[in-house]
Amino acid sequence: MAQHLSRYQQGIVRRFYLHRGTILLNRLQELTSDLAVAEGRRVDTLWKRTADTLRKIDAQPPLPESRINTIIENRDVAALAVLVGELHARP
């Protein structure tokens, strides 16, 4: 089914994809701070969202899958914060 968007809506979609990297990085920063203070079952959900977000980030050079897996499997918030800092420092 073809979806017809108004010119205004097309602009919104275009700008979303233009700034997708920044949006994902901001989401990752928020997830990192949420993980630092989260407790209980919410932690599992936050780590799943963090893994999904890390895999969506289109960084140059690409993030090694082994590094992502290590951070997620160990649930290491400090290592995640370091990674987010590195991504933020990239041009």
**pLDDT tens-place values along the chain, 91 residues long:** 457 999 999 999 999 999 999 999 999 999 999 999 999 999 999 999 999 999 999 888 888 999 999 999 999 999 999 999 999 998 7
Q: Which helix (H) or strand (E) holds 35?
A: helix 20-37
53 located within any domain: yes
Q: How far apart are CA 17 and CA 13, in angstroms?
A: 6
47 within a domain of the structure (yes/no):
yes
What is the structure's pLDDT at 1? 45
Question: Residue 8 falls within a domain, yes or no?
Answer: no
DSSP H or E segment with residue 16: helix 7-18
Examine residue 13 and state whether it is found in any structural domain, yes or no: no
Domain of residue 70 covers 19-89
Task: Tally the domains of the chain.
Answer: 1
Residue 4 lies in a domain: no
Note whether residue 11 is domain-resident: no
Note the pLDDT of residue 2.
Answer: 54
